[in-house]
């Protein structure tokens, strides 16, 4: 490894130092997996995305994601950050308005949403959602995430959901309870590893003005105490809402989800849940801001 271009992109926001920071390495084709993990650890961001050539006939890039400690099969905010970087800094808009990433979970197409010649948002279509029962004690989960049993919203089931990674969805009655949560990170990490859970995702319909849902995400099992604004987990949440019949059948529902406010990195996700076909289709869109550009020297 000689000089490697590295970018720090704040995703799901237009403001620097808000949203979810991702490392993006757009020319990673010569890097080994060991080097990628070392770079992700050095950047010490929630996730870093490494782009390389793809052999898939329908893909524009192969993309791999790493937290500071492990490789992750899919990361939403790093996908948004990568697409935004390619469009705004790497000349992709001259080639078209669509980028297809080959990930460990399948192809993720991203649409570049333009208005008056300016990039407004990027929108990724996630893989088919799924939900699964989980045999856990609700009181124990509440204890691990640092809320009370009374804070849980028993109108909604606690389940595992996925659009690439497995997330434990924890329904909470109020935004205040989510903000006040003080997770027992070491114990939560043990429970997540036991069940193959990537993150534990708290959600509430008690959202601030301008949002439909409010969420918070803890991921100690993959080396991230708290993921500020989570494209993968909120996509899984949208799939859960569709598959649990909590959104209207036969229609397209638009949701605005807020996350990151509790830790001073507010972000906004624009989520489309399309139930007009046989299977729900989940699309997650957002903005981004390129905050740092530089080189890593090995």
For the chain, domains (ranges, CATH) are 3-116+287-297 (3.10.310.10), 130-285 (3.10.310.10)
> How confident is the model over 52-59, as a mean pLDDT?
98
Q: What is the mean pLDDT of the chain?
A: 97
Identify the band that residue 131 occupies on the pLDDT scale cut at 50, 70 and 90: very high
Label the pairing between strands 281-286 and 118-125: antiparallel
Percentage, residues of the chain above pLDDT 90: 98
Give per-residue pLDDT as tens, 144-162.
999 999 999 999 999 999 9
47 labelled catalytic: yes
- Measure CA 136 to chain center: 24
Token digits for 91?
């000349």
Q: What is the pLDDT of residue 165?
A: 96
Q: Which residues contact 194 (CB under 8 A, 6 or more apart)?
A: none
Contact 195, 140 (CB under 8 A): no
Q: Which of 15, 42, 47, 279 is catalytic?
A: 47
Contact 5, 25 (CB under 8 A): yes
Q: How many residues does the chain have?
A: 298
Give the helix/strand (H/E) hosting 241: helix 231-243
Identify the band that residue 251 occupies on the pLDDT scale cut at 50, 70 and 90: very high
Decide if pLDDT at 1 tops 80.
no
Give per-residue pLDDT as tens, 267-284.
999 999 999 999 999 999
Q: What is the pLDDT of residue 14?
A: 97
C-alpha count within 13 angstroms, C-beta hemisphere, residue 270: 12
Token digits for 118?
């300016």
């Amino acid at each position: 490894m000689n000089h490697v271009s590295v970018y720090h992109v704040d995703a799901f926001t237009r403001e620097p130092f808000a949203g979810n920071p991702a490392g993006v390495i757009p020319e990673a084709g010569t890097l080994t997996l060991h080097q990628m993990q070392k770079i992700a650890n050095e950047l010490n961001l929630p996730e870093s995305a490494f782009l390389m050539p793809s052999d898939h006939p329908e893909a524009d890039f192969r993309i791999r994601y790493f937290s500071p400690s492990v490789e992750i099969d899919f990361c939403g905010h790093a996908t948004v950050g990568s697409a935004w970087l390619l469009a705004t800094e790497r000349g992709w808009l001259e080639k078209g308005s669509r980028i297809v990433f080959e990930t460990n979970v399948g192809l993720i197409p991203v649409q570049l949403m333009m208005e008056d010649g300016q990039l407004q948002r990027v929108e990724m279509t996630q893989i088919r959602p799924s939900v699964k029962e989980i045999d856990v004690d609700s009181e124990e989960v509440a204890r691990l995430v640092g809320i009370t049993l009374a804070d849980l919203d028993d109108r909604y089931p606690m389940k595992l959901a996925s659009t690439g990674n497995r997330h434990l969805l924890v329904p909470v009655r109020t935004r205040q309870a989510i903000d006040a949560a003080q997770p027992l990170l070491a114990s939560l990490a043990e429970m997540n590893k036991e069940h193959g859970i990537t993150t534990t995702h708290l959600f509430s319909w008690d959202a601030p003005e301008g949002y439909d849902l409010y969420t918070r995400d803890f991921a100690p099992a993959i080396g991230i105490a708290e993921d500020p604004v989570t494209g993968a987990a909120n996509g899984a949440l949208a799939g859960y809402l569709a598959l649990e019949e909590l959104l209207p059948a036969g229609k397209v529902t638009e949701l605005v989800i807020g996350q990151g406010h509790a830790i001073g990195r507010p972000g906004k996700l624009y989520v489309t849940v399309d139930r007009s076909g046989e299977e729900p289709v989940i699309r997650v869109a957002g903005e981004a801001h390129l905050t740092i550009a530089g080189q890593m020297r090995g």
